[in-house]
Amino acid sequence: MEILVCVRRVPDTSENEIELEGTDIARDELVYSINEPDNYAVEEALQIRDRVGGTVTVVTVGGEDEEEVLRRELAMGANRAVLLSDECFTGSDGRGIATILKKFVEKEKFDLILTGVQAEDGAAQVGGMLAAMLDLPFASLVNSIEVNGRKLKVSREIEGGNKEVNEIELPCVLSIQTGINEPRYVGMRGIRQVASVPIATLGVSEVAANTDSVGSKAAKVVRIDYFVPVQGHGAEILRGSREENAEKVVELIAARGGLR
């Protein structure tokens, strides 16, 4: 099976200071890593490949810095990495990114396209839009995949913990939820071992995209502000002993119907 996984490099904001500058965060102190749901998607693709054969290609849209995450996924075991990079891609909105990816997918032949459920700084748009543009079936929030020939059984969790199983035919697009698997570890050694593997870089002409349909010019969703919201009121702080607090928490949750 030929599998494509669309990935993104995102800032690791868990422990970092975010200084606000206009409509973006200050980026010089940040460290970046692969978007977590994308990492699960790559792991899932690798596991499927190892079960049924085929190849795994990872792709991302961005600049030179993005090579870091592609290399990481190569170290995980992806067969090929492609960087879609062009000046005119800068400032694309979700639809612009989906357009670039669509053009790339049309150049090649993939049976299965995976994306992470959403980027940590994203809006969970690209997977669905890409499927629609390619006119392919789409299943979102997937947390298990079973391959049966040209058909897949995919499931997702419904609010409240129930599980829904759907059948979907290849080729298709799936957005992958974290927890679908346990991604393997990639250390510095792994990344160093793929340091010399070439990464194909394709520009706007190579993916045959129309420059008017991508980049900031084509963006119809424009960010106008970015800030840390003021902390709200109404939080109740429990100030008793550990045991008292535990009791109180149980009581509060039960009172709101959280415990059956």
Partner 1 sequence: MVGAFSAISASPLLSPEGLIASIHVIGIILFIYVIVRRMQPLLHAQSDCRFDRPVERLKRVGKYWLGQWRHPRYRFAGLLHVLIFAGFLLLAARAFSLLIKTVAQEFEMPVLSGRSYDILTDYAATAVFACMIVAIVRRVVFKPARYQAPAEFGKWRSVDAVILLVAIAVLMLADSVVAATTLAKNDGSLQAVAMYSLPWLLRQLMQSNTAGGLANANFAGNVLHAVTFYFLLCYRPFGIQFHVETSLFTIYFSKLDRGTVKPVRWGVREENLDQVKTFGVKTFQDFTWKHMLDFYSCADCGRCAEQCPAHAAGRPLAPRSLTIKARDYAFRHYPVFGKFNNSHALVGTIYSEDEIWSCTTCGACEEECPLFVEYIDKIVDLRRGLIDDGKVPQSLQKPLKALESRGNLYGKLEKKRADWAKTGEFKEECPIRILNNGTRAETLYFVDSTISYDERMQAIGRASARILQASGEDFGILGAAEKDSGHEVRRFGEETLFIALRDHNTDAIHRSGVKRIITSDPHAFNALRHDYKDLPPVEHITEAVARAVSERRIHLRPLSDDTRVFAYHDPCYLGRHNQVYEDPRAVLDAIPGLKRVEMKHSKDRSFCCGGGGLMLFYEPKEERRIGVLRVRMAAEAGANAIVTACPFCLANLEDAIKTAGLKEKMTAIDFAELVDQQLVPKIPRKDSEMQYETASVGD
**What does the binding site for partner 1 look like in residue numbers (CB under 8 A)?**
12, 14-17, 29, 31, 33, 76, 182-190, 192-193, 242
- Residue 62 is encoded by which pair of tokens? 């961005």
Name the minimum Å distance from CB 79 to partner 1.
16
Name the minimum Å distance from CB 182 to partner 1.
6
Is 193 or 210 the residue whose CB approaches partner 1 more closely?
193
Q: Are 99 and 219 in contact (CB under 8 A)?
A: no
Peptide bond into 11 cis (omega under 30): no
Name the minimum Å distance from CB 70 to partner 1.
17
Is 29 or 167 the residue whose CB approaches partner 1 more closely?
29
Q: Residue 230 — φ and ψ, nearest 5°?
A: -65, 140
- For 162, other C-beta atoms within 10 Å of its C-beta total 8
Q: Are 19 and 11 in contact (CB under 8 A)?
A: no
Is 17 or 135 the residue whose CB approaches partner 1 more closely?
17
Is 166 or 193 the residue whose CB approaches partner 1 more closely?
193
- Residue 236 is encoded by which pair of tokens? 């109740």
Q: Are 173 and 116 in contact (CB under 8 A)?
A: no
Name the minimum Å distance from CB 244 to partner 1.
14
Name the minimum Å distance from CB 183 to partner 1.
8
Name the minimum Å distance from CB 164 to partner 1.
25
Q: Are 50 and 184 in contact (CB under 8 A)?
A: no
- Residue 140 is encoded by which pair of tokens? 């979102």
Q: Are 40 and 183 in contact (CB under 8 A)?
A: yes
Is 30 or 147 the residue whose CB approaches partner 1 more closely?
30
- Residue 41 is encoded by which pair of tokens? 């998607």
Name the minimum Å distance from CB 199 to partner 1.
20
Is 195 or 222 the residue whose CB approaches partner 1 more closely?
195
Is 12 or 167 the residue whose CB approaches partner 1 more closely?
12
- Residue 132 is encoded by which pair of tokens? 């629609």
Strand positions, DSSP E, the chain: 2-6, 9-11, 20-21, 24-25, 32-34, 55-61, 80-84, 112-116, 138-148, 151-157, 163-169, 172-176, 200-202
